[in-house]
Structure 1
């Protein structure tokens, strides 16, 4: 058994698992630092949610979606567009970016199929009906909470 200090508490290693001497949480090496009860819960939820993991999917589309939403401004813009229609001025005010940056990010979101537009009299309204983007944002939020 080897002991190491981690965050002020003593962590003991026994057979690949880590035991907190103060809190008693069991953390498996294979679980990425999650307590074992959360690992199992996540695995069960994942297995229930996945209907067919062998179903074919478009890897290039998945790559484009992930790369597009990896940028924090585009991630936030997508959140806002999934909530309701927005104008370019809305994005500028809410996110705090200039007009050029807003338009460039909106162009990238449109090219990726995440953003759509509706023209008013003199204003363009941006919105998203992308189920894939909504699912990915939900997944990211769930992972970030862990």
Structure 2
């Protein structure tokens, strides 16, 4: 049993220092998986569908929830649940670990505040370079014309 599963069994899953989610907010469904497994794939449900109730979670701050919702993208349902499908491995246990690790990784990324963008202005030298290249390009185009037509 992995460290993530042990923590999940105790009722809490730690995301970062001081941030955790309750195991009650997680639900797992086992479904049949495509992929590796041989003949076993048609009779054993090894894939895991992990659902995390993001909207109903009381332990995460609202800012983390909104960033997690953006990061989840199409994995977020209309009901506010994050659905992760894990079927990379042949066993239920490894797929459970994989799904939990991916959920924790998503929530850890959501905990990081994005660096604010500071608008910058072009320098005077870059403006002059731009205007010079425009003038050169314009003069080249001006030289084009019909043969024998002199103004």
Greater relative CO (CA pairs within 8 A, separation 6+): 2
Same fold (TM over 0.5): no
TM-score scaled by length of structure 2: 0.21
